[in-house]
Amino acid sequence: MNLKLGTAICALCMLSSLAFAQQKPDYSTPEATVRTFMNAFSNADFVAAGACVENPIGAKTLEETAPKGQKITIAIDKLTVTASGDTATVSITIKVPQVLSDELKVKRVGAEWKLYSDTNADVNAFNSHPLQGLVYAMSHPQVFVDARNRAKQASCLSNLKQICLGMMMFIQDNEEAFKIKPLTYKASIMPYIKNDKIFVCPSSPGTNPSYSFNANLAGLKASKLSSPATTVLIYEGRTGKLNFIHDGSACVGFADGHCKMVNAEGAKSLRWAP
């Protein structure tokens, strides 16, 4: 899944309380369908938005995975329809508050008009056409699942970077040594972090800490490490075993302070001993 597409779509989904009044769904014309679609998103009613799309297999997934939004004003500045038989192209310009223009495809399905996206659409094109991307996502739920998972992965990396920074500060204040007990490392570095939430990965099903301290480093001087850049300091998992929770990868922080995602193959080359 294209990361920029997921980012653009999720940003639009955050417009959950837009400047539209609740209205009765209307699919009688291409214009009516597009207005109903925009109104549904304005009220964070993703199932209703899916009803405007042909084969909306992703509607329920979108409702469950799209982030909750904040109030923001949006207005349809311009809307024109170019029809040809049972298909039409709707050109729309909206203000959110920035101006955004796009074209949506609509087709007649029985007595109604439904939005649709080409089966072989190039998802990269949606980076500059987010409204088209929304229609595409309504029938391709994996778009939102992937976007959500990537966001959680990024958050996990951010968590571990902060933990590693706290660890570096602790070491500097303690004679450049890892004067830390593996089971209580969190309490040791908490004065430097002061944020309990970062110890739990957003992909974790529970509330227990997701990250562990490499017990092999306990009590050692930092100068004793032969290769800090390749030596594990903090890792996502328990008792020296990584938890590959991010689509087959786990987050690992190293003794020089950098962090990265590691898969099972990459884990084989990790350095655990000093």
**How does pLDDT run across 185-207, given as a tens digit for each residue?**
999 999 999 899 999 999 988 88
Amino acid (1-letter code) at residue 211: Y
- Is CATH 3.10.450 the classification given to domain 3-140? yes
- Mean pLDDT over all residues of the chain? 84
Amino acid (1-letter code) at residue 69: G
Domain boundaries in the chain? 3-140, 148-267
Average of per-residue pLDDT across 65-72: 52
* The token pair that represents 25 in the structure block: 């769904």
Phi-psi category of residue 22: left, alpha or beta, with phi > 0 → left and psi -120 to 50 → alpha? beta
The 3-class secondary structure across 82-110, one letter per residue, is: EEECCEEEEEEEEECCCEEEEEEEEEEEC
**How does pLDDT run across 16-52, given as a tens digit for each residue?**
444 455 578 999 999 999 999 988 877 777 788 889 9
Give the pLDDT score at 221.
Answer: 94
Alpha helices in 107-184 (DSSP H): 130-138, 142-172
pTM score, whole prediction: 0.62
99-109 β-sheet, strand order: 75-84, 87-95, 99-109, 112-116
